[in-house]
Amino acid sequence: MIALLLANATFFAWTQGWLDAVVGAPAHAEREPQRLGQQVRPEAVRLLPAQVAVAASAPPATRCLEAGPFDVTEVAAAEAALAASPAASAVAGRWSRLSTDRSGVWVIAVGRAAPPEAQVKKITELNRLGIAFQAVKAASGADETLSLGQFDTLAAAQEALTRFAARGIHTGHIVEVTPPSTSHRLRIDAATPQEATTLESLSLNTPGKPFTACVQP
């Protein structure tokens, strides 16, 4: 009985904190008031919605930018300006040149379209043979000629000229209306917002052809 009373008295003393210094285990160490007292500026803690938390941790959105189209001389100047610009150093090695080839246009001509009186005989002959024709202007800016057909390769025009000769047209010759060409664009696929602002204001020594949003991302 005495032992039980002694045990109860000891437990009561511990729960009141009277024995903390003796046993080394505070009776109220895990209670809420003590925890709150240990917090640093608890009023500054805010819980964020899941969507906001994800957005805050996501990397900034990037943009696709390109400049052009340039001919061969312009693209060389633009590349040199881009490489030499300290402001564009962040995108060094990340831009690329995209080139697009465009075919030329050739026609088979049988003489000048003007003056009309000089072509009466030729037009009569073409009508008799049932061969269609039209007036076109050569790339050199020369007078209009009577064209028997338009072709996107020189080889195709040469083959057609042979066929016309077999039908009795021996005065035809090939005229280049539009020469073949290659256009170039400079592209950066993933520019950060800060890089995009820098590139859009960058001078490429090609007036009127700055970096803008990609036509086909």
Residue 130 · residue 162 · CB < 8 Å:
no
**Residue 135 CB-density burial (10 A; 0-12 exposed, 13-18 middle, 19+ buried):** middle
- Same domain membership, residue 200 and residue 96: yes
The span from the CA of 185 to the CA of 204, in Å, is 12
- Same domain membership, residue 69 and residue 133: no
∠ CA 53-55-57 to the nearest 5 degrees?
70
- Same domain membership, residue 34 and residue 129: no
- Same domain membership, residue 135 and residue 77: no
pLDDT (tens digit per residue) in 12-64:
665 665 555 555 555 555 555 556 566 666 666 666 666 655 555 666 789 99
- Same domain membership, residue 116 and residue 137: yes
Residue 67 · residue 79 · CB < 8 Å:
no
The span from the CA of 177 to the CA of 165, in Å, is 21
At residue 37, the pLDDT reads 60
- Same domain membership, residue 185 and residue 145: no
Element (H, E) at 135: strand 134-136
Query: Looking at the predicted structure, is the pLDDT value of residue 71 above 90?
Result: yes
The span from the CA of 138 to the CA of 26, in Å, is 102
pLDDT (tens digit per residue) in 159-211:
999 999 898 888 888 988 888 999 999 999 999 999 999 999 998 888 889 99
Residue 110 CB partners (closer than 8 Å, separation 6+): 122, 126, 133, 145, 146, 148, 169, 171, 172, 173
At residue 182, the pLDDT reads 94
- Same domain membership, residue 109 and residue 98: no
Question: Is 21 a member of any domain?
Answer: yes
Report the pLDDT averaged over residues 154-158. Answer: 94
Contacts 24+ apart (CB under 8 A), 138-141: 138/109, 138/175, 138/176, 138/177, 139/176, 139/177, 139/178, 139/179
pLDDT (tens digit per residue) in 77-135:
999 999 998 988 888 889 899 999 999 999 998 876 556 666 777 777 778 888 887 87
- Same domain membership, residue 172 and residue 122: yes
What's the CATH code of the domain at 130?
A: 3.30.70
- Same domain membership, residue 91 and residue 67: yes
At residue 26, the pLDDT reads 58
Asked if the bond preceding 69 is cis, omega within 30° of 0, the reply is: yes
- Same domain membership, residue 94 and residue 136: no
Domain that holds residue 11: 2-43
Confidence band of 142 (pLDDT split at 50, 70, 90): low
- Same domain membership, residue 208 and residue 119: no
**Residue 92 CB-density burial (10 A; 0-12 exposed, 13-18 middle, 19+ buried):** exposed
Domain count, the chain: 3
Question: Is 95 a member of any domain?
Answer: yes
Residue 112 · residue 145 · CB < 8 Å:
yes
The span from the CA of 108 to the CA of 133, in Å, is 10
3-state secondary structure of 70: strand
At residue 147, the pLDDT reads 84
Q: Which of 159, 214, 163, 158 is nearest to 186 (CA)?
A: 214
Confidence band of 5 (pLDDT split at 50, 70, 90): low
At residue 161, the pLDDT reads 93
Question: Is 57 a member of any domain?
Answer: no
**Residue 82 CB-density burial (10 A; 0-12 exposed, 13-18 middle, 19+ buried):** buried
